[in-house]
Amino acid sequence: MVAVLLAWAIGVTGLCAGAVLIRTALAIHRAEGAFVSCRGAGFVGLGALVTAITGLVPWWAPEDRAGWLTAGLAVAAVCFVAGTSLLPGAASTWAVRLRRAYDGAALGVSLGFAIYLVPAASSRPEVVPALLIAAGGIAVVTVIVLRARPRPPGALWCGAGSVLVMLGLSTLAIGASGPVSPAAGLLVVAGLSASAMGGSRRDLPLPPLAPRHPDQYLASYPLLAVPAAVGVIAAIWHLLTVDEFETEAIVFGLVMVSVLVVRELLVVRDIRRYAGRLRVAEAHFRSLVAGATDLTLVLDERLTVQWQSPAAARLFGLRDQEVIGRDFHDLLHPDDAADARAVIGSVLAGEHDDGPPVLVNARVRDGARLWRDTESTISDLRGVPEVAALVVHVRDVGERRHLERTLHRLSYLDQLTGLANRRALMRDLLALRRRAGQHGTLLVIDLHGLAEINDTRGREVGDAVLIEVARRLRALIGAEDVAARLAGDEFAVLTTDSAVPAYALASRIVTALGEPYALPGTTAVLHTSVGLAELAGGADSDEVLRHADLARQRARQLGRDRVEWYDPDVEIQLHRRMELEQQLLGAAGRGELDLVFQPVSWLGDGRPAGVEALLRWRHPELGTILPEELLPIAASLGITAELDEWVLDEACHHLVTWSLNDEFWLSVNVGPRELLTARFPERVQATLSRHGLAPERLVVEVAETWIAEDVPAVVAALAGLRKLGVRAALDDFGSGQTSLSHLRRLPVDMLKLSPSLATDPSVMQVVVSLGRRLGLEIVAKNLETPEDIARATEAGCRYGQGFALGHPGPAERVEAYLDSHRS
């Protein structure tokens, strides 16, 4: 009754397991097209169906149960072996499947030989086939499952189930009795259930495929020799106990030995093939390491150098005996060793296990005892058994660091002059403010005349002048001072000096830069404007630079070769200047321009001899703007000619309205650019004709200070006026550099003496005597007291001009003044 129940349990479980596995195989094939995978599940399912049929043998054929069970075991073993070899991860090619099947067969033959020599088996020849089939099938399935890469859980369940089924069927086939028979049946049922469960769990993800080195694969081969040892031990035991071998045992032993020999030959072939691959890999490794641009060092946990790459001699000139066995820190610069030790300590502590290799910047001593800038990456490979050390890759970055330093230096350097540039000046200015607090001064220097040199001589000559300017600046400043070039013709000097020494330095700079520059075939002269600002006057570096630049602009407005300090009034004056520049263009049209006239009198009796027309701008908001401020603005705007023409026309108009004798004259001031224009005599003649004035009643005044710049041109212009009958006067004579030879050449009729000559009566007498000898009329200016009038009269001056004789006034007041003197 137990045998019948057991047979039905095996049959029903087998049918169910086979149905589940075959259905799973068909579902996989339809859903995913995984042909190999579905065939593996299908063969395992066929093995389950064969087991079900075999389990029913005791019920429908009890007279030949052992034979039927052995046959069913053989068919089921074939199905299980084929299905297991086709499961996912078992093998990728048929060559690998056959090799693993052969390894399993060799294991099975060794176990079978040991089983055959067991006296209980040798006494019952009918059970030997079942035992051999079970040993072979179990061995092949075990090897295939254990060698699977990756090894899915479903494959493990199927393999374990197949092993249990074959073990249970073999136990039933040898005719086990008593409690062993039900236990064997339960093994079959458990195996079928395990196979069905493993085959149906196709939705489980594959385990991660860990990298496996070939030597790990080859290392498992000696374990396959254990069954061979078992066979040898069984043979020795049989020889000692039985003392003889039957023919079948001898043949079986020879088969086992042949199978093992062939397997070992295959292993030797695999080892030789792997050794060849190792030699090729080693050759590749040596060629890569020898030609690498990095030095590779291997350090143990005590940071002792165990190995260095062949590139050490080529790249750093380091021999093995100089490096191997030494502490890694002994190779580093003492100033860098502490930082490197801290970084390596963090690596040894495992703080960078999950991150990229750690970077160490340090200087390394090479074979020539020189320090090299290097960059090293440290990889912790202590977890790799074949390495078990720290691997350091050292790269020489000296050229890169030199290039970086050069680029950094060039980024703070003016390429033409070699001075600091604006960026470097702002950096040093900030550093000086931090280091010295608010002490120090910034000078901004502007060159005048460089554009003309570039236009007339070329930019190469202009560059040579700039280089000479830089040389002169370096010679003037102190060791802690910084000279910089801010723009094309704009320089700066940052000094730690206080206000007074800084002003003295600025004055020396003006003098030095004003000296002539020797150029090919000629010389050139530059003028400068210097603005100074104290560091204490600005909230930050930008504001200090802005203050100095504002002072420089103010110095340029006031004239050439000037030094100006920044103060709040400078900014106010600049804003005033910009406002005046914007409004001057339309001042004449708005009727804001006006003339005042200052009388020129005879010193003998005080009678009026003439008047000088002076320009005024009656600004509606800022009040009266005097010529000292008005004329530079007009010059910068390029409207001086228009203003002079307006003054000439307006003055002639007033002169005509005054009823005076024909000897009374009118003088007007003319700028250099207007005088030297070709059409100026024509405009003067047209104005005189329009107002009906005699030419001799007009006197054109030119300042002495600019005549020496171009004497021939001035002589030609004044000669043109003389041809018209217009007289010319040299204004402020004695304040400039006009030589006596120039005075003889100039076609002037009148000298208006500078007030500086009145301080020395003897000098005034000499000048007056010389002028009268040349036929010139002499006018003493700025006579403000009776004593001034007396000195001028005593020196021989015929005319005088000043507050003591008459204040400047509008046309109406001058007309009344003239009427009073006429009466």
| Position with higher pLDDT, 178 vs 611 | 611
Q: Which of 608, 664, 614, 600 is nearest to 643 (CA)?
A: 614
Vertex 73: Cα angle to 72 and 76 (nearest 5) = 85
Query: What gap in Å lies between CA 562 and CA 555, rounded to an integer?
Result: 6
| The two structure tokens encoding residue 242 | 């039985």
Say yes or no: 463 and 603 in one domain: no
Query: What gap in Å lies between CA 355 and CA 371, rounded to an integer?
Result: 30
Is residue 734 within 8 A of residue 705, CB to CB? The reply is: no
Q: Report, as an integer, the average pLDDT of 30-34.
A: 49
Is residue 344 within 8 A of residue 324, CB to CB? The reply is: no
User: What is the CA 144 to chain-centroid distance, rounded?
Assistant: 58
Residue 358 forms part of a structural domain:
yes
pLDDT at 209: 45
Please report, rounded to a whole number, the percentage of residues in the chain having pLDDT higher than 70: 83
| Position with higher pLDDT, 55 vs 432 | 432
Query: Does residue 684 register a pLDDT over 50?
Result: yes
Q: Nearest 5°: phi and psi at 308?
A: -135, 150
Output 563-568 pairs: Cβ under 8 A, ≥24 positions apart.
563/503, 563/506, 563/507, 563/510, 563/530, 563/531, 563/532, 564/529, 564/530, 564/531, 564/532, 565/499, 565/503, 565/531, 565/532, 565/533, 566/531, 566/532, 566/533, 566/534, 566/537
pLDDT in tens, 335-362: 888 888 888 888 888 777 777 778 888 8
- Judged by average pLDDT, the poorest of 338-342, 609-613, 706-710 is 706-710
pLDDT at 177: 62
pLDDT at 351: 78
- Judged by average pLDDT, the poorest of 76-85, 180-189, 222-231, 574-583 is 222-231
Query: Does residue 224 register a pLDDT over 90?
Result: no
pLDDT at 35: 42
The helix-helix angle for 153-173 and 35-55 (nearest 10°) equals 30
Say yes or no: 192 and 56 in one domain: yes
Query: What gap in Å lies between CA 732 and CA 750, rounded to an integer?
Result: 11
State the distance between the two ends of the chain, measured CA to CA, in whole angstroms.
173
Query: Does residue 395 register a pLDDT over 50?
Result: yes
pLDDT in tens, 536-585: 877 788 888 988 988 888 888 777 889 988 887 777 777 777 788 888 88
Say yes or no: 483 and 512 in one domain: yes
Say yes or no: 370 and 511 in one domain: no
- Judged by average pLDDT, the poorest of 87-96, 354-363, 622-631 is 87-96
Domain that holds residue 751: 585-822
Say yes or no: 61 and 199 in one domain: yes
Among candidate residues 157, 177, 205, the one where a domain is terminated: 205
For the chain, the domain total comes to 4
Say yes or no: 702 and 786 in one domain: yes
pLDDT at 61: 53
pLDDT at 204: 44
Amino acid letter, residue 89: G
CATH number at residue 367: 3.30.450.20
pLDDT at 215: 41
pLDDT band at 438 (very low <50, low <70, confident <90, very high): low
pLDDT at 592: 87
Q: Report, as an integer, the average pLDDT of 281-302.
A: 77
The CA-atom distances, in angstroms, between 57 and each of 46, 61, 213, 252 are: 17, 5, 49, 30
Query: Does residue 219 register a pLDDT over 50?
Result: no
Say yes or no: 511 and 479 in one domain: yes
Say yes or no: 688 and 773 in one domain: yes
pLDDT at 487: 86
671 C-beta neighbours (distance < 10 Å), count: 17
Query: Does residue 31 register a pLDDT over 60?
Result: no
177 C-beta neighbours (distance < 10 Å), count: 6
| Position with higher pLDDT, 186 vs 811 | 811
Q: Is 727 helix (H, G, I), strand (E, B) or coil?
A: strand
The helix-helix angle for 786-795 and 761-773 (nearest 10°) equals 50
The CA-atom distances, in angstroms, between 279 and each of 285, 286, 528 are: 10, 10, 79
pLDDT at 59: 54
Say yes or no: 634 and 544 in one domain: no
> Mean of the per-residue pLDDT values for the chain?
80
pLDDT at 741: 61
Query: Does residue 317 register a pLDDT over 90?
Result: no
282: exposed, middle or buried (Cβ count in 10 Å: 0-12, 13-18, 19+): exposed
pLDDT at 770: 85
Query: Does residue 84 register a pLDDT over 70?
Result: yes
Residue 330 forms part of a structural domain:
yes
Please report, rounded to a whole number, the percentage of residues in the chain having pLDDT higher than 90: 13
Say yes or no: 396 and 426 in one domain: no
Query: What gap in Å lies between CA 359 and CA 347, rounded to an integer?
Result: 11
Query: Does residue 45 register a pLDDT over 80?
Result: no
Q: Which of 593, 602, 613, 594 is nearest to 655 (CA)?
A: 613
Residue 255 forms part of a structural domain:
no
Q: Report, as an integer, the average pLDDT of 480-491.
A: 90
pLDDT at 217: 46
pLDDT at 401: 79
For 301-335, b where at least 16 C-beta lie within 10 A, e where not — what string?
A: eebebeebbebbbebbebeeebbbeeebeebbeee
CATH number at residue 478: 3.30.70.270
pLDDT at 34: 44
Q: Which helix (H) or strand (E) holds 446?
A: strand 441-448
Say yes or no: 712 and 621 in one domain: yes
pLDDT in tens, 755-807: 877 777 888 888 888 888 888 899 999 899 988 888 899 888 999 999 998 89
Residue 267 forms part of a structural domain:
no
pLDDT in tens, 257-267: 777 777 777 77
| The two structure tokens encoding residue 354 | 């999950």
Among candidate residues 162, 178, 205, the one where a domain is terminated: 205
Considering 38-42, 161-165, 386-390, 789-793, the range whose residues carry the highest mean pLDDT is 789-793
pLDDT band at 458 (very low <50, low <70, confident <90, very high): confident
Residue 760 forms part of a structural domain:
yes
CATH number at residue 634: 3.20.20.450
Query: Does residue 390 register a pLDDT over 80?
Result: yes
Query: What gap in Å lies between CA 703 and CA 735, rounded to an integer?
Result: 9
**Residue holding tokens 């002639």?**
652
Query: Does residue 744 register a pLDDT over 80?
Result: no
Whole-model pTM?
0.47
Query: Does residue 218 register a pLDDT over 50?
Result: no
| Position with higher pLDDT, 411 vs 2 | 411
Query: Does residue 471 register a pLDDT over 90?
Result: yes
Query: Does residue 223 register a pLDDT over 60?
Result: no
Among candidate residues 369, 403, 437, the one where a domain is terminated: 403
Q: Which of 449, 450, 447 is nearest to 492 (CA)?
A: 447
**Residue holding tokens 């032993």?**
253
Is residue 194 within 8 A of residue 164, CB to CB? The reply is: yes
pLDDT in tens, 21-30: 777 766 665 5
Residue 220 forms part of a structural domain:
no
Query: Does residue 203 register a pLDDT over 60?
Result: no
Say yes or no: 470 and 382 in one domain: no
Is residue 476 within 8 A of residue 508, CB to CB? The reply is: yes
pLDDT at 30: 55
Residue 288 forms part of a structural domain:
no
Residue 111 forms part of a structural domain:
no
pLDDT band at 210 (very low <50, low <70, confident <90, very high): very low
